[in-house]
Amino acid sequence: MKELRTRVAIVGAGPAGLFLGHLLSREGIDNVVVERRSREYVEQRVRAGVIEDGIAKLLADAGAGERMVRQGLVHHGVELRFEGASHRLALSDLAEGRAITVYGQQEVVKDLVRLRLERGEPLHFDAEVTAMDDLRSDAPYVEFEGPEGRTRVSCEYVAGCDGTFGVATRAVPASEMRRYERTYPFSWLGILAQAEPATQELIYCRHQNGFALYSLRSPTVSRLYLGVRPDESLDEWSDERIWDELSTRLATTERPALNVGPILERGITAMRSVVVAPMRYGRLFLAGDAAHIVPPTGAKGMNLALADVRELARALCAKFQDHSDDLLDTYSQRCLERVWRAEEFSTYMTQMLHPSFDDEFENGVQRARLRQVVTSREASTVLSRNYVDLNSL
Ligand code: RFL
Ligand code: PHB
């Protein structure tokens, strides 16, 4: 078996793992990132698209936002559409001038991979971490299987940034970590389409047939979602049916609902909420989806992941540079407070925008909530502040 030594072994090259590696390297802290998929795969994986105000600044201040600042689309509002009518939420007016940046998650990943490889820092693709151990000692290790065989990475700390149900959470004895979970009775069918967006701003739509979201990636690429039954399969959704349903749900009396174009990518994602606590076991620290999942209605997943590693990088710097354990010891508690706020917001958005098919009482409550959001300045202010900057409030 090959042997490597580093200070921090980082499992996973999603936004969390790559950004943690970036922040540590900037402080001169040696780290190794290990990713089980190929570079092409992680750079093409279409997922999140909304970056909060404070998280966009964090990326830019860390020298990782140059292309995002050039190519990202800054939005100052979103639209809420229900009962056939549109209502604009003036996010920036309601949230002290702050705004969201629409920039694909895979673009963030591409930027971070390129920066890392340019600086010659270790990043192993096609390398699956199969084990980690001695996590409660001061000499933990992880092992991975890569193109060159088996390697053991001896380190001082392990960062579990390996996403949902990863090897990191599985390495923790069940008695040492609690898992809180909720499932929802729907999934999201998402498409990326070569079509000019027919909207300037994101549209969150509640229709009696179900939820719809109109998002975008560039002046020529649209990203759209439909709420569907949890057991639905992509085979049941021809291109024609997808476009018909999107245009039914997004229709208003005022303008054409959308522009149609070739579908470049499609997928169905189940919606759930998960929190594991604490986000630490000995010298293993969890960050991002490895520690929590939010339903995508609040657009919080990638933001939470980047906010976690902002905390973790600070805590590791305090340890290595000032010999202080304080921030490491409070990491989990500080993150979880923010994570539960994001769970609350994501649940609120999800429950307000996905109609029930068998509970008319629930539907009455949802409509009342939406009307309150568009008529009460207090309600729209709370929503806007959480939407644009929850992780920095
Ligand atoms: P990732 O991105 O899943 O990265 C984890 C990485 O770990 C690798 N890995 C391993 N590597 C080595 N050895 C092993 N044993 C490994 N096991 C796993 C995986 O291959 C992977 O590369 O987690 P990370 O970094 O925590 O980032 C989290 C975000 O990806 C996620 O929260 C967001 O995509 C969620 N999300 C959204 N977040 C937002 O902030 N705004 C949005 O608008 C938004 N929309 C979305 C979303 C997620 C979606 N899906 C598909 C879940 C829309 C959708 C449809
Ligand atoms: C996206 O653009 O992919 C997106 C936007 C907002 C969400 C979820 C996904 O809430």
- The number of the ligand 1 atom at minimal distance from the alpha carbon of 37 is 20
From the candidate CATH numbers 3.40.50.620, 3.40.190.10, 3.30.9.10, 3.30.1130.10, the one assigned to the domain spanning 184-271+355-392: 3.30.9.10
Cβ of residue 48 lying under 6 Å from some atom of ligand 2: yes
- What totals of helices (H) and strands (E) does the chain contain, helices first? 12, 21
Residue 91 in tokens: 């996010």
Please confirm, yes or no, whether 214 is among the known catalytic residues. Answer: no
Cβ of residue 217 lying under 6 Å from some atom of ligand 2: no
**pLDDT at residue 366 is higher than 80:** yes
Architecture in CATH of 2-75+95-181+272-349 = 3-Layer(bba) Sandwich (3.50)
What pLDDT is recorded for position 137? 98
**pLDDT per residue as tens digits for the range 177-234:** 999 999 999 999 999 999 999 999 999 999 999 999 999 999 999 999 999 999 899 9
Per domain, the residue ranges of the chain are: 2-75+95-181+272-349, 184-271+355-392
Structure confidence at residue 59 as a pLDDT band (50, 70, 90):
very high
| Phi/psi of residue 195, nearest 5 degrees | -155, 135
- Tell how far the Cα of 48 is from the centroid of ligand 2, in angstroms: 6
- The number of the ligand 1 atom at minimal distance from the alpha carbon of 34 is 12
Q: Are 49 and 75 in contact (CB under 8 A)?
A: no
Please confirm, yes or no, whether 300 is among the known catalytic residues. Answer: yes
100-109 burial, b for 16+ CB within 10 Å, e for fewer?
Answer: bbbbbbbbbb
Cβ of residue 295 lying under 6 Å from some atom of ligand 1: no
Q: What percent of the chain has pLDDT over 70?
A: 99
**pLDDT per residue as tens digits for the range 136-192:** 999 999 999 999 999 999 999 999 999 998 999 999 999 999 999 999 999 999 999
Q: What does the DSSP 8-state code read for residue 194?
A: E
- Of all protein residues, the one whose alpha carbon is nearest to atom 6 of ligand 2 is 299
Taking the C-alpha atoms of residue 42 and residue 87, their distance in angstroms, rounded to an integer, is 36
Q: Which of 25, 116, 71, 58 is nearest to 306 (CA)?
A: 58
Please confirm, yes or no, whether 225 is among the known catalytic residues. Answer: no
Over its C-alpha atoms, the chain yields an Rg (Å, rounded) of 21
- Tell how far the Cα of 164 is from the centroid of ligand 1, in angstroms: 8
Residue type, 13: A
Report whether the peptide linkage leading into residue 278 is cis, meaning its omega lies within 30 degrees of zero. yes
For the entire predicted model, the pTM comes to 0.97
Q: Are 221 and 263 in contact (CB under 8 A)?
A: no
Taking the C-alpha atoms of residue 229 and residue 21, their distance in angstroms, rounded to an integer, is 38
- Of all protein residues, the one whose alpha carbon is nearest to atom 51 of ligand 1 is 47
